[in-house]
Every structure is written in C-alpha cells, then in structure tokens.
Chains A and B, each alone.
Chain A
Amino acid sequence: MKKPFALFALAATTALSCLSPADGERPELHTNVADWREEIIYQVLVDRFANGDGANDVGVRPGVPARYHGGDWAGLEGKLDYIEALGVTTLWISPIVKNVETDAGVDGYHGYWAQDLTRVNPHFGDLAALRRLVAACHARGLKVIVDIVTNHMGQLFYYDINGNGQPDVQLSESGERVDGQGHTKPVKHLTEYDPDFDPRGVQARTSLGESGPAQIVFAYDPDANKLPAMPAIFQEARAYHRKGRVVDFEATVKRCASDTTRGCADCPGDACVDYYEQTELGDFPGGLKDVATELPEVRLAMIDVYTRWVLETDIDGYRIDTIKHVEHGFWQTFAPALRQRLRDVGKRNFLLFGESFDGSDARNGSYTRPGELDAVFNFAHKFQVFDDIVKRHGPTRRFEELWAGRAELYGTAPQPDGVGVAPAKLPVNFLDNHDVPRYLYQQSDTQALTLALTLLMTEQGIPCVYYGTEQGFSGGNDPMNREDLWSTGYATDGALFTHLARLARLRRGYPALTKGDQKVVYSTTRTGDEDEDAGMLAFQRAEGDAGAEAALVVVNTNAAHASHTEHQGAPMKTDFQPGTVLVDVLDPARPAVTVGAMGALTIEVPPMGARLFIPEAQIRDGL
C-alpha cells in the first residue's frame, strides 16, 4: 500500500511544483518611488478595467451598472501595455479587501463596503494575483497605490429601533394625521439599516416614545457575505459610533478644541471650535457603519492590517477614503505608526494621500498637518479651477488665489518618515473620479477636457487621471461614471489618448513640470468678449528641486476668442531672463518667442488653447 501512496504523493508534488514559488511568498520590499512629484497616477476601478480571469466571475451582471462586471487584477496585469502607452506611472487600484457582496440590489464591486480587512476580494483574484500584478507593474517601473477605507465598514448591522429582532423599513408617521394643533405631520421614512443621525446614538423607540440606545444586530448572510467582520474588533458594537447616518455634511456644533466630546461651557479656558460632529461620527450614507476610530484597539487593528498588506504585496502607497469623516487624532496615530513600521522593514517613500471630499482648502489641508498625511486630493482645485474656470470660463484670478493659499492651509514641511515633499507642494490634482460625474458629462465637446488635461499635467502636484478619461467616457454620477473600459477595445489612437500620452511624455521629460515650484505670472478677473486677456492664465514651473530647469504654461480658458497676456499695454512679467527663447513644446512648429525686457512676454492663445514653453536651451528631443 505504501508504494502507490508514494507515487501519488510524488505526482501531486510534481504538479504543485509547477506553481511559481513567488506566487505564494511574500515579495521583497523595495522603495520603488524616488520622488512622488514625478509620478502620474492612473485611477482604476478594477471591476471595470479588464477581465482576465473567468474563474472569479461569480454573480457578475455585465451591463447592469451597479453590479459586478468581471474585471480583476489578472485583467489589469494583462493591460499594462495599454497603461504604459498612456504614459502614466502609478496605478491607483480600487479597494482590495473583501466586501459585503451585495446590499439592496447593489454590489460591492467598487470595494468600499469592507467586511474583512484581512482578506482579498475574491472577485478580483487571490493574493497571488495581486502580488503578480504589483510585481508586473514594478518590473515595468510602474507603481501601485491601493485604495483603503478606515472610516467605515460595509452594511454589517442594523439598528433594532423597535426591538423586534428584524431589520425594518417603515414609515414612522402617516402624513395624514393631524396633531393637536391642527398640523399634519410629514411622512418620515425610517430604515433600521440607515437611520438618521442622532448625537445621542440611534434611539430605540416604541409607540410610547424613546427607550434608550437601540441595539445593533449584526447581519448574518453568507450569500451576501454579511459575515462577522475582521479583524475581530469589528465584531463588537463598541467598534462603531452607532449614531446613524450623516444627514448634513456641513452641520457643526461648538466643542472644546482640546476635546471635541465636551461642549464649550465645560472648558472655559479652551478655544471653542466648530466641530463636524455628524461628519465624523455618523454613518456614511448607504448604511456604511462608522468606525469608532478613536478606540486604541481599532487604531491598532487598522495599523496592523494596513501594514500587513504592504508586507504582503510591496505596494507603494495608500489612497485613503473619506478622511474628513475621521478625527485628526486617528491620522496622527495611524500615519506615523504605519510609516515607522514600514521604515523598520526598509520601505520608504510610502505615499499616504486622502480624500477629503470638500471644497474647502482649509478643511482639506488640515489633514496634512504635521504627523498626518502626505497629501490630499485637491477637491478645491477640481471645483474652482477645472469646473469653474476651465469648464465654465470663470475668472482665472481664482486659480492664483487658490494656489497662493496653499502655503497657509497645507503642511509646508515633509511629514516625518514620509515622502520627502511638503504637502503644500504635493496636491493630488484631478478632473474627475468615481465619485463625481465624468468631466465630459453633459458636455460632449472635448475642448475643455483637452485644456483641463494640459493644465492637470503641467501644474504642481501629482496629476491623477481617472480611467476612461483617455477614451472620452462621459458618464454621470455613480454608477454611470464607472463604465467598462473593455467596451473601447483599449484603443490607443484616439485624440484624447494621444494628447494625454504626449502630455505625460512632456511631464516626465521636463523636470520643471514635476519638481519645479509654481508661480502664477498672469491671471485675470476678466472674462468678457471684449476683454483682450479674458480667460488668460500663466504660471511658471521653476526652481524648487528643478535646478536650472524651467517651464511656462499659458492657457486661455475663454471659449469665445483668442486672448493674450497683456492688458491695456501691460504685458505679463515672467522670471525669465530677457532674451530667453522659449519654444512651445505642444506645437514645436510654432515660432519660438523671446522674452523681453524685465521678463515681459505677451503670448496670444486661441480660445480654449494652451501653450507650454520650455527654454530653447533645455529642449529635449524625442518628447
């Protein structure tokens, strides 16, 4: 009997040995990024990018916007040629951890409904597939950023408001009834999955009135992957705030600056601040349960799991979701601890950048305080520049004002053990993403997009391009802005693709566009048809860490007529030496211009046009 068993074991061992050992082993860790300013981020929603493995197409519903479509890490790995051709350098992939499978008919294909932070989402592949993707990217010089969420978990429990042990969705008022004063009561929609915010915590109640904090009941539905959350701390009620859903993102209450759990009357000697109580403590709409990130055990769990994913895959950074819904104290613990752990294992320059979905630069910049994040998404810039100025042709002076404020509102020193660049110089700029309508939504003319891309790829910071922008996708709000890229055939000859690819080459080829400081040298408040400089904006990229390299970007955001950088005989003043010959590298055939006395330069730009000047002496061939 022993001989057949031995033969079987030999055969099995031989078969298993066909697997690459590297697939199952932790990779060696490397610091793969020298300077994040040199990177161009390409945001990928994995489920929608490419399907490379049919085995994980379980329950996919292609064509249904809010369901899984089948994209996976293997598919992404198979399309790295396409990504390289586009010229981007860093992939930001959607969350990798296991999610609630489906809720209310919508799937967790996007990845923001975490159930188990310790395991990969099998819809996208296994850990080996993720490792292969990261390794393949690194082999091509591409970097990988993974999207993570610390603010909330998925729809893992309901509030048993009426204490009947089942999740209810009901109307709590009839709408027809008249109270003692003759007023009709409005119909109030009450769902135990996602009740409205209550600062006391969601209250249980009966027909007799409130009866104290509602119990939460964790769901158990293996088919929907509503299973006990991991790490185990997330199986405890205390790991969540249990205050219900945010209903007003702007609502504030007065709190002591040193302790936002106390009202100002309790701290007469302390500063009194506006505290976004709902935003920080409320569930994210959709029933996404807000994590009690102030608990030391929760913080430690987050640090542990997100350190582990780096160790398991050698990824290069985290994009962090919904950071403004988490208290600063968490970031001041999480970020330094993560950096320290990675530094201890030889991994440096690990980028931590967050999403503060807010138009306020003051609020967004606050998350780059010392000890917090390396960078944040430049939402203020998206709204005020790409939307208001480029798309809606508003005054370009706003651009100048916005950038002028960064030094005050963002961190001006690199984070300790961070990426070595001050947050103020490292905004992650973007036109659109998976949470907002595509830039082309309701605007089929690609002129504004083309100009916006030029601006994005030449200004200071890290440009971030949402997948499909290069293909002219134009979907509206979520989920219509999450189209299948495979529907395009991955064409690389379209105008937007080639334009973006060219901009990427130029950005990577001229260090001034990556490492140079930014100085606005021309802006205007004029936007009228008769204004000679309407829509004109110009900024230099020089100095900083760019050495002698320099660049000048001049754009005209006016759609009606050509404008120039001169008003009433006063030309734009640049820092270039008089006589410097500048070549428009976007159109090298155009005659070069020469800087006049005192750096004066009048540049005419056609409507919605752009010019990118590089000193003739610095021109590099082949770009």
Chain B
Amino acid sequence: MSRPSRAAALALSLATLSLPAGAEQAAPPPVERAPSMQLVKAVRADDPGTAPSEWTTPSGERRTGRFTFGSYGRVMTAIDGRGRSGRDADLVAHGSRLDEDSYAELELRREDSYQLPSEAHPWTTRMVATLAIGEPLFHRSGKFDATLAVRNLYVEAKGLLSPDLALWAGSRMYRGDDAYLLNWWPLDNLNTVGGGARLDLPRSRTQIALHAGANRLDDPFQLQTARRGLPGNQLGATDVLILDRPRTVESLRVEQIFGLGGRAGVKLVGYSELHQLPSGQRETQPGRYEALPSDSGYVVGAQVTGFTGERDTHVSLFFRHARGLPAYGGDLAVPYALRLDETTKGATDSVAAISGNFEAGAVAVQVAGYLRSFRAATKEKFDYAHLDEGILVVRPHLYFGERAGVFVEASYQAQQRAALRADGGGLMGGSMTRFGVVPFLSPSGRGSYRRPQLRAIFLLSRRSDAARELYATDDVYARRNVEQFFGLEAEWWFNSSYR
C-alpha cells in the first residue's frame, strides 16, 4: 500500500517556514496565529482549498471554518513484453515505485478556529477523513466493487495551554519523511488508532511528538474467534473471542532544524517506538488451548536531512534499528519465523537509507536507496526469513520547457536469504538491474515534486539466474530473466495531510 509523498511536503513546509514575517498575509486568512507545518501547507495561496468563512457569534466569539478536499493518487496500466499485465518486479521489500499498483486517497478535511474576545489565541481544530482506494479498479476487473480502507479519521485540536501544542485522537497515518522513489518511510510509519500530542516551537524550529495507540490485527497472532453455543439453551451459535491481544505502540519523535543561512538548513530527527503485546491463549482444536506469552520490542532511529530551501533540493539519511515485535515491519506487520515460545525475542531489523533530490535549471536528479539486514526470531541460523537486501535508485530528469520532460531511472537491487539453494551451492538470493525511460507531462511546472504528472513508462529489468529461484514454480519470474514493462500512469497529489 502506498501513501502520499512526504518528501514533497517536506520541501514545501521547509520553504514556507522560511517565509519572511507577514508573507503569509497574502494568503487566505490563516487558521492559526503560529502556523504549524501542516497548516502552513493548508493555507498556501496555491492550495486548492476552499477559502474559509469567517463570522462572529452573538457572544463575540470569532470563528472561521472551511472544508477542504485533498488527494494523493496514482493510476497505472501496463503490460509486459509478452502482453501480460505489467507487474511489480522488485526483489526487495521496498523497490522502485514505478511499477506499483494503482492507489488513491481521498481526503476530506474540516478546519475551524474559535476565539473569544478574552482569549489570547484561537483554538483550532482539524478533522481529517481519508478514504483509500486500492486495486482492483472496476474498469480493470469488471467487478463493480472496490477495495476501500479508512486511513485517516481523527481530530486534532490546538489551543490548550499553548497555540503550539496540538492534541489529537483517532485513526491516523502517523509518519515522518519518505524516500519517494521507494514509496517508503524508512524511519517512522505508524498506522494507529490512538492519540498524541505534538509541540511545535517555530522560533526554535523544534518539534516534539508523542503518541500512543493500539491495534488488533485480524490475524491468529492477535485475534481468534471461536464458535460457541448460545447461552441459556438458546438455539444457534455465536462467535466468542478466544484470543484478543491488542498491540500497543508508543512513539516519540524529536525534530530540530538548524539554519545554515538563507533558506538552507539541517534537520535532525531522533525517533523511538515501544511495542507491547500481552499474553493470551488460542484454541488449537476444540477444547485445547495454547498459551501465548507476552511480547515486546522497540525501535530507535535517527534522520539527518540537509536542504537548500531552493526547489526541493535536499538529502536525507535514515538509520533505524528495531528489535522484537517491530523488527518485522510496521505496526501492521504480522511476525513470523518465531521462537519456539511464539515470541519475537531476538528478531532484529537494521536499516540505513538515503533519499535525496537536486534540482537546477532544466535538470533534476532524485536518488534513493537502502541497506537492510533482517533476522527473524527463530534460533535457526539458516531460515528463509533471515535476509539482507539493498537497492540504489537514481532518477535524473531533463525538462523540455516548463511543463514536459523525461526522466530515466536506473536501479540495482539485491537480496540474500539465509537458506541454501536447491543445488547446495550457497545461499538463496539474487539481484536485479533496471533501466527505465519515462517521458512525462507536468502541467504544474518543473520540479521533482510537482504534480500532477502524466507518464509513459518503459522499464527494462534483468534479474539474475539466482533471483529466479526466489519465485514459485511456474511463476513467469522464475522462468525468465528479462522483463519489459510498458505503462501509462497518472500521479497526483494536492492538499492532503501527509502526517
């Protein structure tokens, strides 16, 4: 599942923060006195949001409010060189986004402010509802149906104690900066139902965010229902919860920006998560139960981002180490290859990632990559679950005029698993090299993060012989080395909450 790009918003917000005092007066009336990153983005003059209404109640309270609509989306259709459907060919967990499936988010947002004459600053609220749509699309499958998910459904309020303190609760995509080319948030990416607080200190350019949430995945690791007869000798049966152990997650994110003169700066981020899973029991067969011990884990990580403040040029380095529960991915991941006691103790996931963008004149270059080492909890030294992998993607752009261009994308990725090959000749794994040419239209102008874009995509990928062993028998990827990919894609984003 993909999410709207954080990188674009990052660059945008950084630039906005550097606006001279009063510059924001040219925009539609602000919804708060000291704009946070999100709300600054929401009130930019070129945002398509509806201008807020403003009125005063009989009691003298000044109110503003508006509805806005935002969206991120990409819709792709593609075929391969033999006329089959185009398909993601990546070996690694986070590969190039160019061949990913269609996905879109539709966001409705209500923003209000309230201020009594006696109050020094207004209270502001933001209610965000984001509906996500995934494949298959009706026009592809012919089934008048949709895969829908509610990604955001929360309210954020500011005004308690300080206009710089935001409190929120609800269901929320809760994340930091992304590596756009990989469609991935290397450091922090939670999907939580919970709540939190964020303190933005614009003068010191400091942001501190705390959060706690819980999930209970519909998976036997956390949830099991069983049929039981109704009480009181009633006819029929009902489901009862046998296993019900929500995972609780707490996170802390501290961000500090240091100016380097002009619009340039460096952003440092420190990040951590704690995960807990209570003990429980599940029924292995009627009347027999298996005890599941409690489990836990943590994440520590950091990010360093340097930016020029000009045309979204920046480079970010991410470092993340997870142990236990979160080693298996985000909070929505289901652990596997566990220890015999059914815990994730000892599982580790270490990542170093890079993401950057450089733009100058008619040229832009994006880059992303990572190295990752994952070890599952199992004590077995050789297990298919253990893996090392990495990828490096470079995407140079050349613009023809202001609203068209072409980019090429070159990438190399490799993966090795702790499992012996069938012939006993070393570990399973393989690599893939890709080269792509993508002419595009960018009606909103030059820029790696300007959207919408209309693209024609051609990709030529070559996987190694060893990589074919990573696919099941009769999977075409197990039978050939070279893939061609011809696609047409639209990608857009506007006015959506990226965090």
Write out the residue numbers on chain B whose beta carbons fall within 8 Å of the beta carbon of A122: 233-235
- Residue from the list A56, A119, A220 in contact with B287, Cβ < 8 A: A220
Question: Is the Cβ of B237 less than 8 Å from the Cβ of A222?
Answer: yes
Question: A353 to chain B: closest CB distance in Å?
Answer: 28
Cα–Cα, bound, A101→B227 (Å): 15
Smallest CB gap from B283: residue in A? A220
Name the residue on A nearest B229 (C-beta).
Answer: A222
The answer to whether A98 has its CB under 8 Å from any CB of chain B is yes
Knowing A220-B286, A222-B227, A228-B287, say if A58 contacts B233 (CB, 8 Å): no
Q: Does B228 contact A (CB under 8 A)?
A: yes
Which residues of the other chain, B, contact A123 by a CB distance below 8 angstroms?
235
Q: B235 touching A227 by the CB < 8 A rule?
A: no
Inter-chain CA distance A98–B286, complex, in Å, is 20
B235 contacts A221, C-beta separation under 8 Å: no
B117 in the interface (beta carbon within 8 A): no
CB distance from A193 to the nearest CB of B (A): 17
Q: Which of B229, B236, B285 contacts A227 (CB 8 A)?
A: B229
With the chains together, A227 CA to B286 CA distance in Å? Answer: 9
Write out the residue numbers on chain A whose beta carbons fall within 8 Å of the beta carbon of B233: 98, 119-120, 122, 126
Give Cα distance in the complex from A121 to B164, angstroms: 66
- Verify if A32 is at the interface (C-beta below 8 Å from B): no
**Residue A59 at the chain B interface, CB threshold 8 Å:** yes
Contact with B along A211-225 (1 / 0, CB 8 A): 000000010111101
Task: Name B227's closest neighbour in chain A (CB-CB).
Answer: A222
Taken together as a complex, chains A and B put the C-alpha atoms of A283 and B237 apart, in Å, by 28
Set of chain A residues within 8 Å of B235, measured between Cβ atoms: 56, 58-59, 101, 122-123
| Alpha-carbon separation in the docked complex, A58 to B236 (Å) | 8
Question: When the two chains form their complex, are residues B237 and A223 in contact, meaning their CB atoms are under 8 A apart?
Answer: yes
Would you give the shortest CB distance from B228 to chain A, in whole angstroms? 5
Chain B residue with the shortest CB-CB distance to A119: B233
In the bound complex, residues from chain A placing their C-beta under 8 Å from that of B285 are 220
Which residues between 250 and 302 of chain B lie within 8 Å of chain A, taking CB atoms? Answer: 285-287
Interface string of A125-140 (1 = CB under 8 A from B): 0100000000000000
Q: Count A interface residues, CB 8 Å.
A: 18
Contacts of B237 in A (CB 8 A): 222-223, 225
Q: Is the CB of B228 within 8 A of A222?
A: yes
| Contact indicator B287/A221 (Cβ below 8 Å) | no
* Chain A binding surface, main DSSP class: loop
B341-365 to A contact mask, C-beta < 8 Å, 1/0: 0000000000000000000000000
Smallest CB–CB gap between B232 and chain A, Å? 8
Contact across chains for B287 and A223 when beta carbons are under 8 A apart? no
Contacting residues, chain B, for A221 (C-beta < 8 A): 227
How far, in whole Å, are A98 and B230 apart by their CA atoms in the complex?
13
Q: B238 contacts which chain A residues (CB < 8 A)?
A: 222
Bound CA span A98–B233, Å: 9
| A59 closest partner in B (C-beta) | B235
* Nearest-CB residue, chain B, relative to A120: B233
Determine how close the nearest CB of chain B comes to the CB of A120; give it in whole angstroms: 7
How far is B229's CA from A308's CA once the two chains are assembled, in angstroms?
A: 23
Q: Which residues of A contact B234 (CB under 8 A)?
A: 122
In the bound assembly, the distance between CA atoms of A416 and B285 in angstroms comes to 49
- Chain B: which residue is nearest A115 at the CB level? B229
Interface residue ranges of B212-228 to A (CB < 8 Å): 227-228
> Bound state CA distance, A139 and B235, in angstroms?
30
In the complex, A56→B236 CA distance in Å?
10
Complex Cα–Cα for A121 and B285 (A): 26
A58-B233 Cα distance, complex, nearest whole Å: 13
Q: Closest CB of chain A to B374's CB: distance in Å?
A: 34
On chain A, the residues within 8 Å of B227 by CB distance are 221-223
Most chain A CB within 10 A, of B227, B228, B235, B236, is at: B235
Chain A residues near B228 (CB-CB < 8 A): 222
Residue of B227, B238, B286 with highest tally of chain A CB at under 10 A: B286
Contacts of A222 in B (CB 8 A): 227-229, 237-238
Taking the closest CB of chain B, its distance from the CB of A269, in whole angstroms, is: 48
**Which residue of the partner chain A has the closest CB to B285?**
A220
Which chain A residue shows the least CB distance to B286? A220
The minimal Cβ–Cβ distance linking A564 to chain B, given in whole angstroms, is 60
A101 to chain B: which residues have CB within 8 Å? Answer: 235
From A126, which residue of chain B is reached at the shortest CB distance? B233
Which of chain B's residues have a CB closer than 8 A to the CB of A56?
235
Shortest CB-to-CB span from B192 to chain A, Å, is 35
How many angstroms from the CA of A59 to the CA of B237 in the assembled complex?
12
Would you give the shortest CB distance from A154 to chain B, in whole angstroms? 14
Q: Mark A583-604, 1 if CB is under 8 A from B, else 0.
A: 0000000000000000000000
Q: CA separation between A56 and B235, bound complex, in Å?
A: 7
Residues of A within 8 A of B (CB): 56, 58-59, 98, 101, 119-120, 122-123, 126, 218, 220-223, 225, 227-228
8 A-B pairs closest in CB distance: A220-B286, A222-B237, A58-B235, A222-B227, A223-B237, A122-B235, A222-B229, A119-B233
- Residue numbers of B with Cβ under 8 A of A are 227-229, 233-238, 285-287
Question: Could you give 26 example pairs across A and B, Cβ below 8 Å?
Answer: A56-B235, A58-B235, A58-B236, A59-B235, A59-B236, A98-B233, A101-B235, A119-B233, A120-B233, A122-B233, A122-B235, A123-B235, A126-B233, A218-B286, A220-B285, A220-B286, A221-B227, A222-B227, A222-B228, A222-B229, A222-B238, A223-B227, A223-B236, A225-B229, A227-B229, A228-B286
Instruction: List 8 extra interface pairs beyond A218-B286, A220-B286, CB under 8 A.
Output: A59-B235, A59-B236, A120-B233, A122-B234, A123-B235, A221-B227, A222-B227, A222-B229
